[in-house]
Amino acid sequence: MAKRGGFPGGMPGNMNNLMKQAQRMQRQMEEQQAELENKEFSATAGGGVVEVTVTGKREVSKVKIDPEAVDPEDVEMLEDLIVAATNEALRKCEEESQAQMAKITGGLGGLGGGLF
């Protein structure tokens, strides 16, 4: 008959180790998040005529437009270039975030998903 309360085989000790590992992972994730927020990610579109920079907080911080890209007759193209460069910069930010998460979790799947 099993004892009431507790787990056979010393599970509580393993649970303490698991909790310590989880706390360490949480600390590492917070540090990585702070580091990521200070980074900038840039991308260009249209052969470099539009450049957009976003922060690790996923906020647009800079937009550079080559004057040659400004054609009053084709504003839609310029708008499309800005969207394309912004999306690419955000993709780079997300890619870096996922890579950092994978380093911390050691590929444990969805642990902490969406924290970055």
Percent of the chain with pLDDT strictly greater than 90: 42
Q: Which residue's structure tokens are 């922060």?
A: 55
Output DSSP code: residue 3.
P
Q: What is the mean pLDDT of residues 44-58?
A: 94
111 within 8 A of 92, measured Cβ to Cβ: no
CATH match of 40-107 with 3.20.20.70: no
Tell me how far apart the terminal alpha carbons of the chain are, to the nearest angstrom.
47
Interval 13-42: pLDDT, tens: 788 888 888 898 888 888 888 888 899 999
- Residue 115, pLDDT above cutoff 50: no
> Crossing angle for the helix pair 11-37 and 75-105, nearest 10 degrees?
150
What pLDDT is recorded for position 45?
Answer: 95
Interval 61-80: pLDDT, tens: 999 999 988 998 999 999 99
Average pLDDT, the chain: 83
CA distance 80 to 86: 10
Is the overall model pTM greater than 0.75, yes or no? no
What pLDDT is recorded for position 29?
Answer: 86
Q: Which of 8-12, 34-38, 103-107 is modeled with the greatest confidence?
A: 34-38
Percent of the chain with pLDDT strictly greater than 70: 81
